[in-house]
Structure 1
Amino acid sequence: MNDAQSTGLTRRTLLQAAGATAAAYSLVGAAAGTAGAQDRPEAADRLVVHPVPAGLPLNTSFSVKARKPGGVWRTVPVLRARTKTINEATGSGIVRDSSVAGFDFTGTVEVEVTSSKGAFGSARIRPLSYAVEHEVSGDTIRFSLDEPRNLSIEIDGNLYDNLHLHANPVEKQRPDADDPDVLHFGPGIHTVPDNVLKVPSGKTVYLAGGAVLKARVDFTNVENARLIGRGILYDADGGTTVAFSKNIEIDGILVLNPKTGYSCTIGQSQQVTVRNLHSYSYGQWGDGIDVFSSEDVLIEGVFMRNSDDCIAVYAHRWDYFGDCRNVTVRDSTLWADVAHPVNMGTHGNPEKPEVIENIVFSNIDILQHREPQVLYQGCFALNPGDSNLIRNIRIQDVRVEDFTWGQLVNMRVMANRYNASPGRGIEDVYVRNLTYDGDKANLAILTGYDADRPIKNLTFQNLEINGTVVHDKMRKPGWFLTTDMVPMFANEHVRNLRFLDGATAASTVAPEITSAGEATATRKRAFNHLVTATALPTSFDAEGLPKGLAVDKETGLISGTPKAPGTHTVTVSATNSVGTATKSIKLTVRNA
């Protein structure tokens, strides 16, 4: 076991083999843009299985093998993850062991999973939206993948003793271990003083596949820093903290069994990207990713299984102050064993009221929601308190599988035991292409606090419940409300609530773009700029982007890593069924 200094870091080479061969280590690379990184050509079919150091707990419920088509089977280590549910009769936590395995690949990979319990009757691979074809024979399930996936493999309906499989993309580059700007952790178990690694500005922390760091990684008052690799943050007080910082990137890390705290905290920071993070927690208040008073945040490709909220978006709390805006969560999978998959608005500053706005959730699979407390239910909970105002929220292309206990949505202007005052309201929310298949959902709730603190301008479009699209013109008894068909309760302080089918125009006027006319990026650093507009646009575009940036036409997010400095005039657009709005923005790419 290694001890590494956490202060005065300018150069580090930590390459403890821990039983791993040099050849195995040489297959590991780092994310694009790392100083001193070396490009690696990609083969048509490539498989990388990372070592697991001695001393990291394994789980024996499953054995996993993988291979390139027609190649030699390779054993994939299975780690022990811990999960927690709440005993609704006593309030005590029930902690269980589960299984996590992973590898990197390109092309096609064949996978074989065998249960140690012997032959089983049924198996499913989730998210169900992936429709992974598989075959079962006795005690084994076999399938192939041709693109990266985060999966749950469940035998005979068991949600707890299941296998989580992270089939990752292969890292395209790797850092030079001798680069003075790289804090390098090779395969093995590592510790640092006080169990906190404080990252200086301009540094990249690289956790190679097979590296285990028993510490929280802390980005406080820094700029232009990263945490990347295929390693593990294990058994620490939280996973990562980003506080009062800018241009921070976290990519490819597994946060496994933190003792306390959140897997990732983002507080009063700008330009933060969290990509391909996998998180498992079992502690009290074991949230996944919490965003406080921050701007221009991208969370993508994450898999979160947590003992509290998976994703939370707030304003002020603790030492963090200010509005929270321009947060995009996309292409991700959420599993809440306790509380909400998504929670928004609880914490703020009543003495100087704040706004939470321009929040986008797109292409999300929700696999589980289990919360006995009615006040903390909702796969999507928009619950402003502490004089917060929530506005301009988009929830689109979301698939909710049947869960154990809770509500599909809970939008409630409130004051609960955490709040000094009620929220100011919820306004301009667009929920499009939300599907739920199941029979466990409790009555969904929409409630404004009073006439001065309402919910207004809430549109559901193409809301599909068990195969039926719920809309205001659907066939139903004339005395039924549309909300009865969900079912959902809306009180008298909900204004302009609409349920539309997929073909009905959501707006009668063309959009107007409301996002900033100027933006500044940093060369070779992840950049996010969210294009926002009025009148419920259904698509976005951008022309004239510098090399390294692209626009997500579904969300309006411009993101990527710009390659060279310069000033660019970019024309952004937003379109709905009535028309298209355009706006020129000045995008400056500066040197670090």
Structure 2
Amino acid sequence: MKQINIYLLFVLIAFSFNVELLSSDTTIIYPAPGEEIRYEGYTVRINGQEAPVYRARVSAYPLNQRWPGHQRPKYQTEFAGFCSWDMNGPVTIEVIPHHAETIDQVVVRPQSNGIVPKIKKGTIIFSMKEPSQITVEVNGMHHALHLFGNPMEEPQPDPEDPNVLYFGPGVYDIGKMDLTANQTVYIAGGAVVYGAFEARDAPNLTIRGRGILDGSRIERLDSMVKENSKVPFGTMALYGCHNARIEGITFRDANLYVLMPVACNNMSITNIKQIGMWRYNTDGIHLKNCQDMTIDQCFLRNFDDCLVVNAYASHRGYDCGELPTRNITATRCVIWNDWNTAIRIGVVCHTRMIENIKFQNCDIIHASRIALNIENHGHAMIKNVLFEDIRIEMNDGSSENQYQMRKNQVYSYSNKKHVPQLCFIDIKKSPYTMTNDYGRIKNVVFKDIMVLGDRPPKSIFKGHDSEHMVKNVFFKNLRFGDQLITDLESGQFEILEFVKNVKIK
């Protein structure tokens, strides 16, 4: 720790003399470290000031492999760009795409923001009225630009405070760092921290800033999933940490789950951004056995489930017992799902109760296999779930999930009519099941769900038996474009056995 603090002191002194923030009355732009490789596909200006465009490796198509001893190869990826700044008023954004010879089409997502860009002499111009997280997609979804407009930051913590781990502008390689109670981790704008954080039974943590936490130097191994593995399980794993706050930072290229709270309560996760997830199982925000959690205004692009709520018996030696999962609220999130599901409850449900779960005012700008998912492969009662004001863009870029079965297999685009499922709800046993009992699902409400796309998506519901059923699923104001869905047939619903009382109005 002393070595890190001494190094930080030199970085801070150097920064104060040699680096100047690009700021105005409405914006703050943080310079990138000189060692950081920029993405050359775009030039971005915010209110006339050039902002650094960082590089992130993302999945090029949904082809996956899970062979022992093999990891997903980089040839299945591509580079994308992202940049981040702070703002307290409307800004004008200019984007010059260098990766495209011509600008044939530009889409700014979420489309619910109503941003219609202008194109003038090879420059894309539009306004952002308030802090937002958007993508600019030129001639399709590949090599996209991700723009993160943050609210103005609160005052920075004191670097001399013994409870503060202060990462000023610059590049750091921390490996795996264990946190203790009452600590604040601050990653400043212009800082890139390579490594991972873990904490166990450490209350009152704060992890915040405008910098980047990067997991690309942590290897992904088959042995990582074992209980006794010493390899970091993703970029941030928090076990039994209560009264925690995570805000503002950008996560890039995790080796496994990006942010995983286990058996935590009273935690807020606000304005985090996740980009550059291309390795398998890079779930976004993955909550296990947690209570009283709020997730607000986050951007999640992941190569596996983006927003997950479930329950385990134990994880990495941390005993969760039968701790319930309850009182989880996620709002104002933007989700780009490159593999599997966008929002999921399950699959592992090792607890008696998962209840009071809300997803509200969120945009799914790209879906892969399933948009909204509840899978009970345990013995839990899952009840009182609300999906409200969810907008789902089922665009032409959606591609079918495929598993790579042989080494030289390439991705097949043969299924041109692939549409991700809207909803999938089921109860069954699987390799993730930890008990002999089955669970139940009841009281699920889908309200104000808007689907944009040329082809309507399907939904499938299935229970297990007469004692373990899916009950009381209600849809209110479900729309496919301009069409209000008023019956199961026009909504493309497939209601299988042991499902009771599904209604649409």
TM-score by length of 1: 0.72
- Picking from 192, 196, 200, the partner of 1:220 is 200
Please tell me the residue identity of whatever aligns with 2:496. Answer: N
C-alpha deviations, 1:253-288, integer Å up to 9, x for none?
Answer: 100112x11110010011111110100211111110
Which residue matches 1:140? 123
CA distance in 1, matches of 2:191, 2:57: 20
- Shift in alpha-carbon separation, 1:427–1:442, aligned structure 2, 3 A: same
Query: Which AA in structure 1 matches 2:251?
Result: V
Deviation of 1:414 (Å): 2.0
8 A Cα contact 2:64 2:280, kept in partner: no
How do 1:427-442 residues align onto structure 2 when only pairs under 5 Å count?
Answer: 427-440=442-455, 442=457
Aligned residue for 1:379, secondary structure, equals: strand
Aligned to 1:181: 163
Structure 2 CA distance for aligned equivalents of residues 49 and 203 of structure 1: 27
Q: Offset at 1:21?
A: 5.1
Q: Which residue does 1:268 correspond to in 2?
A: 263
> Following the alignment from structure 1 to structure 2, what is the Cα–Cα distance between the partners of residues 105 and 431?
34
- In the alignment of these two chains, the number of paired residues is 452
How far has the Cα of 1:24 moved from its partner?
5.0
Cα distance in 1 for partners of 2:391, 2:289 equals: 28
Q: Tell me: CA distance 1:87–1:277, structure 2 relative to 1, closer, same or farther (3 Å).
A: closer
Cα pair distance change 1:453/1:22, threshold 3 Å: farther
Alignment of 1:52-451 (within 5 A): 52-67=32-47, 73-84=48-59, 94-116=76-98, 117-156=100-139, 158-192=140-174, 195-234=175-214, 235=216, 236=218, 237=232, 238-258=234-254, 260-280=255-275, 281-316=277-312, 317-318=314-315, 319=318, 320-321=320-321, 322-349=323-350, 353-371=351-369, 378-403=370-395, 404=398, 405-420=419-434, 421=436, 423-440=438-455, 442-451=457-466
Aligned mates of 1:335, 1:84 — CA distance in 2:
11
Do the aligned residues in 2 keep the contact of 1:315 with 1:354 (CA within 8 Å)?
no
The answer (yes or no) to whether the contact 1:233–1:256 under 8 Å persists in 2 is yes
- CA distance in 2 between counterparts of 1:329 and 1:4 reads 38
Q: Give the secondary-structure state (helix, strand or coil) at the position aligned to 1:209.
A: coil
Question: Contact (CA 8 Å) 1:336, 1:369: kept in 2 or not?
Answer: yes
**Normalising to structure 2: TM-score of the pair?**
0.84
Question: The residue matched to 1:261 in structure 2 has which SS?
Answer: coil
CA contact (8 A) 1:406 1:441 kept: no
The Cα shift of 1:464 comes to 0.8
Q: Which has the larger radius of gyration?
A: 1
Paired residue type of 1:120: I
Percent identity between matched residues is 25
Contact in 2 for aligned 1:59/1:80 (Cα 8 Å): yes
Is structure 2 residue 482 aligned with structure 1 residue 467? Answer: yes
- Structure 1 residue 357: Cα displacement: 0.7
State the distance in 1 between where 2:7 and 2:201 align: 22
What secondary structure, in the 3-state scheme, does the structure 1 residue paired with 2:205 have? strand
CA displacement at 1:367 relative to structure 2:
0.8
Work out whether residues 64 and 75 of structure 1, in 8 Å CA contact, stay in contact via their aligned partners in 2. yes
In the alignment, the residues of structure 2 paired with residue 488 and residue 324 of structure 1 have an alpha-carbon distance, to the nearest angstrom, of 28
Q: Hey, what's the Cα distance between the residues in 1 that align with 2:64 and 2:349?
A: 32
Q: Quote how far apart the aligned CAs of 1:26 are.
A: 7.1
Deviation string for 1:174-195 (max 9, x for gaps)? 2222222221110001122xx1
- Please report how far the alpha carbon of residue 413 of structure 1 lies from its aligned counterpart in structure 2 after TM superposition: 1.3
CA deviation vs aligned residue, 1:525-580 (integer Å, no higher than 9, x gap)? xxxxxxxxxxxxxxxxxxxxxxxxxxxxxxxxxxxxxxxxxxxxxxxxxxxxxxxx
Conserved 8 A contact 1:18-1:187:
no
SS at the partner of 1:129?
helix
Residue 26 to residue 120, structure 1, CA distance change in 2 (3 Å)? closer
Offset at residue 90 of structure 1 (A): 7.8
Following the alignment from structure 2 to structure 1, what is the Cα–Cα distance between the partners of residues 156 and 266? 23
Please report how far the alpha carbon of residue 470 of structure 1 lies from its aligned counterpart in structure 2 after TM superposition: 1.4
Letter in 2 for 1:449: H
Residue equivalent to 2:416: none
What is the CA–CA distance in structure 2 between the aligned matches of 1:18 and 1:334, rounded to whole Å?
38
Instruction: Report Cα offsets for 1:115-148 as digits up to 9, x if no partner.
Output: 1134312211110000123211242101122200
Determine helix, strand or coil for the equivalent of 2:390. Answer: strand
1:487 aligns with 2:492: yes
Letter in 2 for 1:155: V
Hey, what's the Cα distance between the residues in 2 that align with 1:64 and 1:74? 8
What is the deviation of 1:448? 1.1
After TM superposition, which residue ranges in structure 1, 4 or more long, deviate above 3 angstroms?
Answer: 3-6, 11-15, 17-28, 85-93, 420-423, 439-442
Cα deviation, residue 12, structure 1: 8.9
Secondary structure of the 1:449 match is coil
Distance 1:90 1:204 in 2: 38
Q: Secondary structure at the match of 1:142?
A: strand
Contact 1:384-1:422 at 8 Å conserved across structures: no
Q: Distance in 1 between matches of 2:454 and 2:461?
A: 20
Structural RMSD (CA): 2.4
Cα distance in 2 between the residues matched to 1:26 and 1:61: 23
Q: In the aligned structure 2, how far is the partner of 1:164 from the partner of 1:108?
A: 18
